Structure 1
Amino acid sequence: MIREVVLSLPFEGLWLARNSPARRVPSHGTDLLGERYAIDFIGVDHRHRTADRRDWRTFLATEPAERFFAYGRPILAPADGVVVGVHDGEIDHVGRRSQLTLVPYALGQVARLRQGIAAIAGNYLIIALRDGGAFVALVHLRAGSVRVALGEEVTTGQPIAECGNSGNSTQPHVHVQVMDSPDLSVAQGIPMAFRRFRERPRGARHPQIRESGLPGEGAVVEPLPVPEPFEAP
């Protein structure tokens, strides 16, 4: 088994952690598609809101993806590596916060799984990490936003796509997972952590700085610059 892989958070700004492996494993309730240690991040504003408004649609209907702060935000390469998997062209769905729309959507989960990986992952990128042996997947990307091609080398922090709401997603977010194979149909999940970020745990009044770790469920995180190595004069 490959040891824990440490990544950079694949974005800038404030994001809310959901389905964190810090809460439970498998984090998404399944080992399928390499998801055992996956984590979701939802873009928020300084008030920790996921969308710019609440109205009758929020409670009774679907909502345009554009009203969610995560939608269209840049997604960055979380590590150095080579692109070994690319899928684009899946549509971005409307958002669903209303229980009236979430229940029938949940009932369609099995049917989406039968349709294949694209119906679940939507638009995605898979990067073979430079150190070898592990692959990171970034999932639910915005249609038409992928900026890199198969075989292209990427560096940490490089803009590679935008956050979307494609695939099995009820509101715009980015799903991150590390795996032992680039083939989602057979991949097994690998534990991961993120380097240097500010975290405000759910219910806490003050944030804390973590040099490395996994955000807790419901925590709001913000990546921080990694200090340059000190060199003696």
Structure 2
Amino acid sequence: MSTQILSAGLAALLLAVSMPGHSQASTTAVPTADATPQDAPAMQAGRELSQLFLQGDTDAVWARMSPQMQQALGSAAALAQFRAQVGQQLGEEQAVLDESVGTDQGVHAYVRTSRWSKLPAPILMHWALDDAGKVAGFSVQPKPQAAPSPHLDYQTKAHMRLPFDGQWYVFWGGHDIEQNYHAASPGQRFAYDLVKHVDGSSHRGDGKALEDYYCWNEKILAPADGTVLEAVDGLPDQAIGTRNTEAIAGNHVMLDLGNGEYALFAHLRQGSVAVEAGQEVAPGDEIGRCGNSGNTSEPHLHFHLQDAPVFGEGDGLPAFFEHYTADGEAVERGEPVKGQTIAPMDDGASK
């Protein structure tokens, strides 16, 4: 079964819903959490929308979509076509295995995991709701699985500091698919998406301008001694709500850290890349500024290690950092995970 058929066949059903990421980020959408009382409306709305969709009442679902979703989808007939496509590929829902809700950056998520008649793998139905209760995102897809990796127990050879100063938030990070949607991709198996949070949000105001984002234009630093293999600049920073799917990494830098370890820094700000191919860098050297170029939904730093010198080739490697704080606790060496606030140990608590 192809995930593309169900979740990428109609681009409108994959609208970005305020989550950092690239490479099919929109099929994963916002993270979920344990239900709290304030999540009850999202649970109720998600159940209602799921039932309407399953019954084929796509006109009722269409009426509850945001204007942006309706504009992107084009017509209620397109939604009906998608429902028919789901039925042809998956059959009918047989049993609900799990429901979860959560809120992140103003988007309320409902995720329903079910068994369907034509496919043995669990299926995720995901609804994203804006503050007005309108559908801002929707997808139906096989539940992502973490890609097999020959490096699950790998220990990073390079001695790496965090690639920034001050406090940053781990939006995606970890070995499990629940912690890290990148885990579905062999090459990005242990990748990170990193933002800056203030009072639980990555941006001030309505977040429509790139400058609203707290990590925008922040310095991105070399984590270890290395040699620049590739430095790409000149690609435009995408306005919020737009993506460049032709240049996934956007402006980026690839560093050779030695011992078969290569580090990618993606989505850098246009015109900010401060290094060039062949240049030697030391820990803490500025390599660029945080931006929003490439296939990304909002300003953030995408960072990962891999075992090949070319992006898109080889397998991802775990990235162990040294001398940092995670949620205020000192870590001499470790792998940050989703939900942690991290900072270099020498300035972490003060910035």
TM-score tier after normalising by the smaller chain length: 0.7 to 0.9
What aligned pairs does 1:39-118 form with structure 2 within 5 A after superposition? 39-45=192-198, 47-54=199-206, 58=207, 63-96=208-241, 112=245, 115=246
- Going from structure 1 to structure 2, the CA distance change for 1:221 and 1:26 (only over 3 Å counts) comes to closer
Aligned-pair CA distance for 1:185: 2.6
Query: Could you say what secondary structure the match of 1:51 adopts?
Result: coil
Runs of 4+ in 1 over 4 A off after TM superposition: none
Compare CA radii of gyration and give the structure with the larger one: 2
User: Is 1:196 the equivalent of 2:341?
Assistant: no
State the TM-score, normalizing by the size of structure 2: 0.51
Aligned-pair CA distance for 1:163: 0.3
> Which letter maps to 1:224?
M
> Which letter maps to 1:4?
Q
In 2, the alpha carbon distance for the partners of 1:132 and 1:53 equals: 45
- 8 A Cα contact 2:169 2:341, kept in partner: yes
- Structure 1 vs Structure 2 CA RMSD: 2.2
Aligned-pair CA distance for 1:52: 2.1
State the TM-score, normalizing by the size of structure 1: 0.76
User: Is 1:211 the equivalent of 2:332?
Assistant: yes
- For structure 1, the residue ranges without an aligned partner over 5 or more in a row are 97-104, 201-206, 227-233
Determine what percentage of the aligned residue pairs are the same residue: 31
Higher relative contact order (CA 8 A, sep 6+): 1
In 2, the alpha carbon distance for the partners of 1:92 and 1:181 equals: 27
Residue 293 of structure 2: aligned partner: 166
- For structure 2, the residue ranges without an aligned partner over 5 or more in a row are 1-149
2:171 aligned to which of 1, 12, 18: 18
Aligned-pair CA distance for 1:44: 2.8
In 1, the alpha carbon distance for the partners of 2:195 and 2:180 equals: 19
Residue 155 of structure 2: aligned partner: 4
Aligned residues: 193
Higher helix share: 2
Residue 225 of structure 1: aligned partner: 346
User: Is 1:136 the equivalent of 2:263?
Assistant: yes
User: Is 1:28 the equivalent of 2:173?
Assistant: no
